[in-house]
Amino acid sequence: MLGIDLEKADSGSSDLQLVAGYTTRALSQLVLRTDISGMPLEWIDYKEAARLYHQEQVAYTCGSPLFKLYGGVSALTGFRTVLEVNSIVATVGHTGNPGNTRQDYVPPLNNQTLFRRDAHFCLYCAQRFPVRELSRDHIRPFSQGGRDVWTNVVAACRRCNNLKASRTPEQAKMQLIAVPFTPTYAEYIFLKGRRVLADQMEYLRAHFPRHSPLHARIKRYLS
Ligand SMILES: [Zn+2]
């Protein structure tokens, strides 16, 4: 199964990196956990997934089988226990997912997700940069009452950030190439992903708002 590698995109020259099928079977592949109603919750590793299966917290699975985990020999049957873990698991109970219960939920702001939101572009000079060369620019600077919120921050290269200094884009005569947005919970989960498999991506996309700019970006890689 194909997937998209967001970690590779952090260090490199392109937006979302497509990864080949065989690498997606590695144990490092994360599983998408949802609640019982199918709302995305979080990424979990295979150990956490195994724990949920064993504690019978997995209500149903979606996506495709990812890997088989071999346990001990069952005293009852004499057979070795095998656990097949799927790429998406729906679990019982609610673990207080604020993104699904509150309309006004705002995901925490951090540079990794911010740079991914902006596809690693400097939103002023429209060049793409690796993460280490990007910085968080406050569109309206602190000194002019700007706040540290999703809609007031963009990825900017250091050169543009220095050039703009403590001015608004209008004052600096620098134009933004895109409108900054606050990710919804599902968008945030996607942006926080490491390597997102095609089926996980389709699943998350179904929860994105219709106007999400992420649709077009993802489509380019999965067509
Ligand atoms: Zn720039």
Q: How far is the CA of 45 from the centre of ligand 1 (A)?
A: 36
The alpha carbon of 203 and the centre of ligand 1 are apart by a number of angstroms equal to: 34
pLDDT tens-digit readout, 117-158: 999 999 999 999 999 999 999 999 999 999 999 999 999 999
Nearest to 31 by CA among 10, 52, 15, 9: 52
Q: How far is the CA of 81 from the centre of ligand 1 (A)?
A: 55
Give the range among 30-34, 93-97, 108-112 with minimum mean pLDDT. Answer: 93-97
Tell me how far apart the alpha carbons of residues 32 and 201 are, in angstroms, rounded to a whole number: 10
| Cα(103) to centroid(ligand 1), Å | 34
Could you read off the pLDDT of 163-222 as tens digits, one per residue? 999 999 999 999 999 999 999 999 999 999 988 998 999 999 999 999 999 998 888 776
Encoded tokens for 19: 């990864």
What's the pTM value of the predicted model, to 2 decimals? 0.86
- Of 31 and 8, the structure prediction assigns the larger pLDDT to 31
For residue 88, the surrounding DSSP H or E stretch is strand 80-91
Contact 33, 91 (CB under 8 A): yes
pLDDT for the residue numbered 82: 83
pLDDT at 64 over 90: no
Q: Ligand 1 center to residue 174 CA distance, Å?
A: 10
Q: Are 6 and 15 in contact (CB under 8 A)?
A: no
Instruction: Quote the distance between the C-alpha of residue 150 and its chain's center.
Output: 15
What's the gap in Å between 149 CA and the centre of ligand 1? 20
Q: 185 and 105 in contact (C-beta within 8 Å)?
A: yes
| Rounded Cα gap, residues 169 and 154, in angstroms | 12
User: How much is the pLDDT for 128?
Assistant: 94
- By the 10 Å C-beta count (0-12 exposed, 13-18 middle, 19+ buried), 7 is classed as middle
DSSP-assigned states of every residue in 178-205: S------HHHHHHHT-SEEEHHHHHHHH
